[in-house]
Amino acid sequence: MGKKDKEIRDITDLPGIGPNSAQKLIENGYTSIEAIAVATPHELSQVTGIPLPTAQKIIQAAREALEIRFKTAKELKMERMNVRKITTGSKALDELLGGGIETRTITEFFGEFGSGKTQVCHQLSVNVQLPEDQGGLEAKAVYIDTEGTFRWERIEQMAKGVGLDPDTVMENIYWIRAINSHHQMAIVDQLFDMLKRENIKLVVVDSVTSHFRAEFPGRENLAMRQQLLNRHLHQLGRLAEIYNVAVVITNQVMARPNVFYGDPTTAVGGHVMYHAPGVRIQLKKSRGNKRIARVVDAPHLPEGEAVFAVTEWGIRDAE
């Protein structure tokens, strides 16, 4: 069987990549076909030392490899049937989401500071561990913390709130602090291995954008920032699809996002979701402990709002 007929699954299957180039690519974080397909020739050449024309060929091959993988409608149906759901702790919010947070999907919670994004992430890390008849998947969670706002104390409290053993719940959450955007992306690459071995059904990135914003401020860095963020989201989407896990990301935006019109990070979901469908939920503060959730551009969900509460025991329906 010639190389052309062989299915391209791995970067070493790409035509024109010898062992040396493959090694260089992997060492520099280009561990997947997707990562290469979304790279620019300049970037690839600069990072790996591969000559520009070769880099161009490699990227072209990676793009072709991605595009020729058709799926049948039947396959899509089977994939949908594998989608599972995790309860948020609030019936109203679950209903808004069509039954809870979905696996195989990136769900983005965006909103201003204090709108409850991190609370929702904590709650989901607990709830994914619940038995299925209580809205969980009896599985573990990964929590990528970029802002240092993860609190085990809060997990303990929420575990008690749903009647699970707090120590067991805390042992089933793998926490890591991402120190910069590069680290954040490397962690996600690492997860492709980890998810093979572990029964993990939720991956949280809280927040997905903060490092990228801090490291690439202003208009002049917009293109670079967006390119890296795209690649990161793309990897997360792939993770969601390959392992049928729920990926939950947060994104802090100002109360009036129109102030940032044209800032692509205010629209992290949407068109950049390549493999996995994205769901975007806007969270807003309301009176007291109440929060309002609104679904934004989700073709399969009805438009609407849900009110929930952040209580001592976690996310609940509002009184």
Give me the count of residues in the chain: 319
**Using the rule CB under 5 A, which residue among 88, 118, 209, 210 binds Mg ion?**
118
Minimum distance, C-beta of residue 157 to ligand ADP, in the bound complex (Å): 6
> Which residues are near ligand ADP by CB under 6 A?
111, 113-119, 289, 310-312
Residue 88 lies near Mg ion (rule: CB under 5 A):
no
Sign of CA dihedral 79, 80, 82, 83: positive
Minimum distance, C-beta of residue 181 to Mg ion, in the bound complex (Å): 17
Residue for token digits 């719940």?
169
Residue 105 lies near Mg ion (rule: CB under 5 A):
no
Q: Is 106 helix (H, G, I), strand (E, B) or coil?
A: strand
Each residue 126-155 as x (binds Mg ion by CB under 5 A) or -, in order, gives -----------------------x------
Question: Residue 33 or residue 126: which is nearer to Mg ion going by CB?
Answer: 126
Which option in ligand ADP, Mg ion, none does residue 115 bind, with CB closer than 5 to 8 A by kind?
ligand ADP
User: In whole angstroms, how large is the CA radius of gyration of the chain?
Assistant: 20
The DSSP letter of residue 15 is T
- For the chain, helix (H) and strand (E) counts, in that order, are 12, 11
Question: Residue 44 or residue 124: which is nearer to Mg ion going by CB?
Answer: 124
Of 177, 216, 174, the residue nearest 198 (C-alpha): 174
Segment interacting with Mg ion, rule: CB under 5 A, options 7-15, 24-32, 116-124, 188-196: 116-124
Minimum distance, C-beta of residue 263 to ligand ADP, in the bound complex (Å): 18
Q: How far apart are the first and last CA of the chain?
A: 65
Which tokens in the block code for residue 99? 């039954």
Minimum distance, C-beta of residue 16 to Mg ion, in the bound complex (Å): 44
Phi and psi torsions of 227, nearest 5°:
-65, -45
Minimum distance, C-beta of residue 281 to ligand ADP, in the bound complex (Å): 12
The answer to whether the peptide bond before residue 207 is cis (omega within 30 degrees of 0) is yes
Q: Is 279 helix (H, G, I), strand (E, B) or coil?
A: strand
Question: Residue 234 or residue 316: which is nearer to ligand ADP going by CB?
Answer: 316
The CA distance from 57 to 15, in Å, is 9
Q: Is 125 helix (H, G, I), strand (E, B) or coil?
A: helix
Question: Residue 118 or residue 251: which is nearer to Mg ion going by CB?
Answer: 118
Question: Residue 244 or residue 252: which is nearer to Mg ion going by CB?
Answer: 252
Residues touching Mg ion, count (CB under 5 A): 3
Minimum distance, C-beta of residue 31 to Mg ion, in the bound complex (Å): 29
The CA distance from 260 to 161, in Å, is 38
Question: Residue 94 or residue 145: which is nearer to ligand ADP going by CB?
Answer: 145
- Exposed, middle or buried by CB within 10 Å (0-12, 13-18, 19+), for 290? middle
Minimum distance, C-beta of residue 311 to ligand ADP, in the bound complex (Å): 6
Question: Residue 44 or residue 293: which is nearer to ligand ADP going by CB?
Answer: 293
Residue 123 lies near Mg ion (rule: CB under 5 A):
no
Give the residues lining the site for Mg ion (CB under 5 A).
Answer: 117-118, 149
